[in-house]
Amino acid sequence: MKVTLISIPVRDQEKALNFYTEKLGFLKKKDIPLGGGNRWLTLVSAEWEDGPELLLEPGPNHFEPCKVYQDALLDAGYPYTQFDVDNVDAEYERLINLDVKFSMKPTEMGTVKVAVFNDTCGNNIQLVEEL
């Protein structure tokens, strides 16, 4: 058994697509219309194109519990998910220069360094570097 798809709830798939590709550097893999303005929209890491796909899921627009959960995480400052990077400081500087808003600057926590940013689509995302 292996993980092939991870979903992240977004409130605007087009805005999320632009943010995740233009700012974060992900690549669009699938973009299939599903009707009602929804799409099966997946991305992959440019560094791991054969790795798991990230589904930009419009769940909060159609399923209230999803929206409530997403809002609760955002309001509490908790990340929805994490992305591993080789160098959190370098990635932080790169993203700051692209006007990405961080709620936590690079911070060492034991054996990792983390930073947290807002994806503009309802989620905090944590960057993690293993030290």
The pLDDT of residue 72 is 97
Residues of the chain under the 50 pLDDT cut: none
Transcribe 34-71 into DSSP letters. EETTEEEEEEEBTTBTTS-EEEEE-GGGT-HHHHHHHH
The pLDDT of residue 21 is 98
The pLDDT of residue 86 is 98
CB atoms within 10 A of CB 129: 20
The pLDDT of residue 53 is 98
Distance between CA atoms of residues 120 and 70, nearest Å:
13
For 94-109, write each residue's pLDDT tens digit.
Answer: 999 999 999 999 999 9
The pLDDT of residue 67 is 96
pTM of the model: 0.95
Q: CATH fold of 5-130, please?
A: 2,3-Dihydroxybiphenyl 1,2-Dioxygenase; domain 1 (3.10.180)
Q: Which amino acid is at 116?
A: V
Domain locations in the chain as residue ranges: 5-130
